[in-house]
Structure 1
């Protein structure tokens, strides 16, 4: 061994130690907790003030001071793969749609021997979970169901046609932003549980379906409030630019794998050889819905029909979106998040964190800060609406009493006239209508 070899090894280790120190300092810098506190971006309203006051998890933030919590790729992979600690089983309901298609609803139930809190005062609220558009049931979804069960809710996962073991009974797949199947599923849940509140949650690209549904249905959505974990908003651009190559390759492989089970049946409407030869998610989406044997849509025309934000002005319920600045799948927050939407639309709330990855926000191996926020958010919105309704009812009673009193006073002394009613418009005097968007 040359005489200079030990000195070179020592020098190399010293350089590596210096680089490691600088790298660790990047994640464990002496910044205050306020530097990492999440920001609630929204139009000022009574509901926004109430959420900041009552949702403790929002103020607490999501960043435990551990190295892995600052690594977005590790959080993303961990939340998408690891399922330990989630003691949840599912019972499946198949729902036949109007066109004889089939979707599945997986109701979460606690594992044997596990005690869950239940409410004795009212029917347990239902949490409808919409997974990503590729149908992959991730660890994030399983842990969300477990957390909802712990709080006395009834979680149910919506599975699209041909996904997650749901059989393909018609030669039709659900387009990215087509809410028709989800609308029938919500009506079924409403029919089976008419007195239960309904909350909805989506993750990742599943937000496209949820936002499309809320926009098309407006005030008839039957939903109390909704939430999105790491939503993809600019979906056309996301398909065109793609996510980092590893995630892109895994999603492409996963989608081709489950489509391969229906090669013969789908071959009647889709060029399957062309589909399996695709190299990008954009090409795959085009092969599935644009350039088929029965339709010939342009890429832009397809997104005119399926853009999640096409009817966003019609959304009539509160929607909380939890996003991180270091999301490796969505991309740069400054260009991929529609900040103007949250600053001008009183129904949308953006909770933006510095760290969290894509659908990560992990506090430990089995718990996620985003789930704590969602469950507190559901509770706070419900309480806020109850308070608003009580105030409105009280105002109505006061208004009715004022009408009677003013009618009596205006009619008194005019008994020889035929009209004994006041001619004033009482609603111009008393304005009791209130709204959480004020």
Structure 2
């Protein structure tokens, strides 16, 4: 009986797979499966050899955990500490097919939020503040609210019970700044990250660009892809209202263009202690030039056009709105709205050499919205001590759903990206505490008063603790 039951289950699974293949063919979606897709199901060493990653980690046994994500980073003191103490990076138990299919995970992260276990936990709502910018524009700041209690700086300063603050000089809960996709809105993936952060004692704050996420557009100007001016003012404002809290940031998908631009523009003047990018767009021009599968391309275009049409009358005097509304690709849409020198100002990594805080990037090989993994700027991660890459076999775009009981450490459900980035922030904070105990200064970012010239600030002692990074 057990034999026939097992055979019946295999038959149903095979039938479901072929039905899914047929549906993907009709929708013109690339098909991914562990037994047909190159790189799936291979061990860690084989994957690295196939891709020629050259991670510079092979000679360091401490940096070679059990089979898991492919890790790319410069073998520094911080990297060693992270890989020794950040257990979630070593062996994630990602959901298998069908729940782990990249398209199902991607659509779930945008629309459903029900394909990852544990999403029916504590409800998360948001209370909104609007920040008036120097040019008269507005950005929206959504403070997460969980369990009927607001978590913003206006509503209670006490330490979250049972939570572990990341600050090295204070028990004030840290602030987690979340940056959504370029087109805005709070996805189920972002909401799940807020939920987990609340449980761990963070203040969670979602940043909405002007004209997105229901934020009114009060100036005849849209925010360009990598324009970080508004985010700079927002971070400075939050810092002024919450001076004792550690600030960390997470970007989702195309929102990474804004976060990486901010980190490069500010350099050592950034107020952030650490940052993470989930399914990041690291090369903006390449992403806009690479055709998306039709289903995703039209979904993104429709979203962008709906945003533009909402303010068509106000923007018609400065933009060719009608032409933009008739574009059939993201590249044409952006080029219509902005000038030809767009990427000179908006490429996310244009000032990567100035980044002065650790940045963890989580990517998946089967991400259907990003260019192939072979296009990743590996030299950045191999040579820059502040950038770390974890590349998984599966996960889709901002999916990374875990199998039942796959999260570990007492947590229930959720997804691997949320677990990893929150643990990463905790481990980075522990590393900084250890460096401080050794007598190395690390202080608050921004006290040097320096932006893109941050290297001089580090050499003059403000960031002398970071010499352990570059050993």
Deviation at 1:339, TM superposition (A): 0.6
Change (3 A) 1:162 1:117: farther
Separation of aligned partners in 1, 2:293 and 2:41: 31
Tell me the residue number matched to 1:94.
130
- 1:18, distance to aligned residue in structure 2 (A): 12
Give the Cα separation in 1 of the matches to 2:190 and 2:465: 42
Secondary structure of 1:247's partner?
helix
Q: Give the equivalent residue in structure 1 for 2:74.
A: 43
Partners of 1:364 and 1:154 lie apart in 2 by 28
- The CA distance in 1 between the partners of 2:189 and 2:465, in whole Å, is 43
Aligned to 2:139: 103
1:241-390 matched pairs, under 5 angstroms: 241-290=290-339, 298=340, 301-335=341-375, 337-363=376-402, 367-390=414-437
CA change 1:434–1:25 in 2 (3 A) is closer
Deviation of residue 130 (structure 1)? 0.5
Rounded to whole Å, the distance in 2 between the matches of 1:128 and 1:333 is 27
In structure 2, the CA distance between the partners of 1:110 and 1:72, relative to structure 1 (3 Å rule), is: same
Tell me the CA shift for residue 209 of structure 1. 0.6
Task: Please list, as runs of the form range in 1=range in 2, the aligned pairs for 1:20-169 lying within 5 A after superposition.
Answer: 26=35, 37-64=68-95, 66-83=96-113, 84-85=119-120, 87-112=123-148, 117-118=162-163, 122-169=171-218
Give the whole-Å Cα distance in 2 for the aligned partners of 1:327 and 1:18.
22
Larger Rg belongs to: 1
Per-residue CA deviation, residues 28-76 of structure 1 (Å, 9 max, x unaligned), is: 9986698761122101001111111111111122424x32244111111
Query: In the aligned structure 2, how far is the partner of 1:133 from the partner of 1:218?
Result: 22
1:111 to partner: Cα distance:
3.2
Provide the C-alpha distance between the structure 1 equivalents of 2:401 and 2:142, rounded to a whole number of angstroms: 25
Aligned length: 378
d(CA) in 2 for partners of 1:148, 1:252: 31
The two structures have a TM-score, normalised by structure 1, of 0.80
SS at structure 2 position matched to 1:284: helix
Task: Name stretches of at least 5 consecutive residues in structure 2 with no aligned partner.
Answer: 1-10, 22-31, 48-66, 114-118, 151-159, 405-412, 442-463
Contact 1:42–1:343 under 8 Å retained in 2: yes
Question: Using the alignment, how far apart are the partners of 1:338 and 1:432 within structure 2?
Answer: 27
Q: Unmatched 5+ residue regions in structure 1?
A: 1-12, 291-297, 395-430
Residues 183, 17 of structure 1: alpha-carbon distance in 2 compared, 3 angstrom cutoff: closer
Q: Which residue of 1 aligns with 2:261?
A: 212
Quickly say closer, same or farther: Cα 1:233–1:25, change in 2 above 3 A: closer
8 Å CA contact 2:93, 2:403 repeated in 1 = no
Offset of 1:277 from its aligned partner?
1.0
Q: Closer, same or farther in 2 for the Cα pair 1:24/1:233, shift >3 Å?
A: closer
> Deviation digits for residues 334-389 of structure 1, max 9, x if unmatched?
12x11110001010000111111111100159611111110110000011011001
Contact kept, 8 Å, 1:323 with 1:350, in 2: the verdict is yes
Determine whether 1:392 maps to 2:392.
Answer: no
Distance 2:359 2:201 in 1: 22
Structure with more of its chain in helix, by fraction: 1
Note if 1:436 corresponds to 2:435.
no
Q: Assess, with a 3 A threshold, how the Cα gap between structure 1 residues 216 and 195 changes in structure 2: closer, same or farther.
A: same
2:362 match: secondary structure: strand
Instruction: Quote the Cα distance in structure 1 between the aligned partners of 2:218 and 2:86.
Output: 44
